[in-house]
Structure 1
Amino acid sequence: MRLDKFLKVSRLVKRRTLAKEVCDQGRVEVNGKTAKASADIAVGDELTLRYGNQTVKVRVESLRETTKKTEAAELYTLLEQVPPDKAEGTSGRNL
């Protein structure tokens, strides 16, 4: 499955076009390497997403073409979530 589609179906990112933009900006890594939106992902891959000044790391548990909102969290396991005030390169201020 394409990375941008997984991000949308799992609801890690709200829209697929936004998922593509985040990937194009180099803010998504698959298994430690920067990935394009078209990258194929598989069960067991680890994704790292940087949202502004927050970092989220998840492991892919399942791949589905569509999901209900209540089932979306079953597609991945949250490994790490760095809150905005502890993310790298931040000064703790809101800009």
Structure 2
Amino acid sequence: MPEKEKLRIDKYLWAIRIFKTRTLASEACKAGRVKINGQTIKASHEVKVGETYNISKGLERKIITVIGLLENRVDAKKAVEFYSDLTPVENTPSFKSMFNMPMLRRDRGTGRPTKRDRREIDDLQDGYFTPPPPQTGTGNDDTEE
């Protein structure tokens, strides 16, 4: 595949399948979600081999280094050969998923938990599933002193 000497960042991110469309890639650049060395770049920024980019896509954060330039979109297996993903494992969505959460289970046939069992379960969960308490004292108190 012929490599191009000048390539725009929005086209590159589309070609390596970080974004589904080139329009989404250029909008991400305009919104400041694509950065190099902590500075926001425009969609017309020229990609160079060896540069490292920080990309924010929804909740997902990626750090990629350019290995090769790719002008046209190719399948995912070939696209991986043109960049190096430096994203720490802790920041990947699969690491943060609910599948990595410890599972609480009871033996089958033991019936419903007693009040004591329920309290022990709540202590184990330690507020993991409970929503935060409502905030009080918003500053709009009309109470008389």
TM (norm. structure 2) is 0.55
Shift of 1:66: 1.8
Structure 1 residues 2-81: aligned runs within 5 Å: 2-69=8-75, 70-81=77-88
Does the aligned pair in 2 maintain the 1:31–1:45 contact within 8 Å? Answer: no
Structure with the bigger percentage of strand: 1
- Report if aligned partners of 2:17, 2:73 keep a CA contact under 8 Å in 1: no
Please give the root-mean-square deviation of Cα atoms over the aligned residues, in Å: 1.4
Please list every run of 5 or more consecutive structure 1 residues that lacks an aligned counterpart in the other structure.
86-95
Task: Report the Cα distance in structure 2 between the residues aligned to 1:58 and 1:68, rounded to whole angstroms.
Answer: 18
Q: What residue ranges of structure 2 are gaps of 5+ in the alignment? A: 1-6, 97-145
Report the 3-state secondary structure (helix = DSSP H, G, I; strand = E; otherwise coil) of the residue aligned with 1:68.
coil
Query: TM-score scaled by structure 1?
Result: 0.81
* RCO higher in structure (CA 8 A, sep ≥6): 1
Count of residue pairs the alignment pairs up: 85
The secondary structure found in structure 1 opposite 2:86 is strand
Runs of 4+ in structure 1 deviating by more than 6 angstroms, as ranges, are none
Cα distance in 2 for residues equivalent to 1:33 and 1:26: 8
Describe the superposition over 1:48-92 as per-residue Cα deviations: whole angstroms up to 9, x where unpaired.
10112221000000002124203111110000152355xxxxxxx
